[in-house]
């Protein structure tokens, strides 16, 4: 018999819960119905076109932050229009470094001819038929070599390493020394 009262109590409790949830759902519906379709702050918002422009500018800024400059001159030095002594010395050393220069030729005890070639701060020892930095040695003389490079044949003589010029005596109006 007591089980019947518990069952009635449970059903009554479920009906009361449904009524409370129904009333609550209806009040939420009335509150949501009062919300306008357009916000009162829409005049202060950003348009889609302006937002896309802002994103484009931000992307450009990020690209510039990640960009790596690979120049060999100081960008703060007067646009590199005026060359000073330091610039001229660097240019000379770089051109000397990139010169394919025959240092010496020699003959071994077995009669093989060997050429010593300096290129990019490295000394190469080459015989006829060797390839040095893309140049095939075709002939070695007493003080010269002949090599094949990019479809042409070149001959170069033994030459000493040129000394550093005195750039302080240059009277070129485009070349200035010192800090200006």
- Note the pLDDT tens digit of each residue in 102-113: 888 888 888 888
**Residues sharing a CB contact under 8 Å with residue 88, sequence separation 6 or more, in sequence order:** 165, 167, 170, 175
Would you list the domain boundaries of the chain?
A: 1-31, 95-157
Find the radius of gyration of the CA atoms of the chain. 43
Structure tokens at 77: 């030095």
Residues of the chain with pLDDT > 90, as a percent, come to 24
Give pLDDT, residue 80.
52
- Note the pLDDT tens digit of each residue in 115-132: 999 888 888 999 999 999
Structure tokens at 32: 């949501």
Residue 91 has pLDDT above 80, yes or no: yes
- Overall average pLDDT of the 131-141 stretch: 90
Percentages helix, strand, coil for the chain, rounded to the nearest 5? 40, 25, 35
Residue 89 has pLDDT above 50, yes or no: yes
CATH class of 95-157: mainly beta
Q: Which of 1-5, 14-18, 39-43, 64-68 has the highest mean pLDDT?
A: 14-18
Phi, psi of 152, rounded to the nearest 5 degrees? -130, 155
Least confident of 30-39, 70-79, 132-141: 70-79
Structure tokens at 99: 């010169």
Structure tokens at 38: 């357009």
């Amino acid at each position: 018999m007591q089980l019947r009262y518990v069952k009635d109590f449970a059903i009554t409790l479920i009906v009361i819960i449904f009524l409370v949830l129904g009333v609550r759902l209806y009040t939420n519906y009335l509150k949501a119905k009062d919300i306008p379709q357009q916000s009162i702050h829409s005049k202060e918002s950003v348009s889609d076109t302006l937002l896309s422009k802002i994103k484009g500018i931000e992307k450009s800024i990020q690209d510039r932050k990640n960009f790596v400059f690979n120049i060999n001159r100081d960008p703060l030095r007067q646009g590199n229009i005026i060359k000073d002594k330091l610039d001229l010395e660097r240019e000379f050393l770089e051109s000397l470094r990139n010169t394919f220069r025959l240092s010496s030729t020699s003959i071994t005890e077995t009669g093989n001819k060997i050429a010593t070639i300096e290129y990019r701060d490295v000394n190469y020892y080459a015989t006829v038929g060797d390839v040095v930095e893309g140049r095939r040695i075709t002939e070695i003389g007493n003080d010269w070599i002949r090599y094949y490079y990019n479809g042409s044949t070149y001959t170069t003589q033994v030459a000493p390493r040129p000394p550093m010029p005195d750039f302080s005596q240059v009277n070129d109006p485009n070349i200035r020394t010192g800090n200006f």
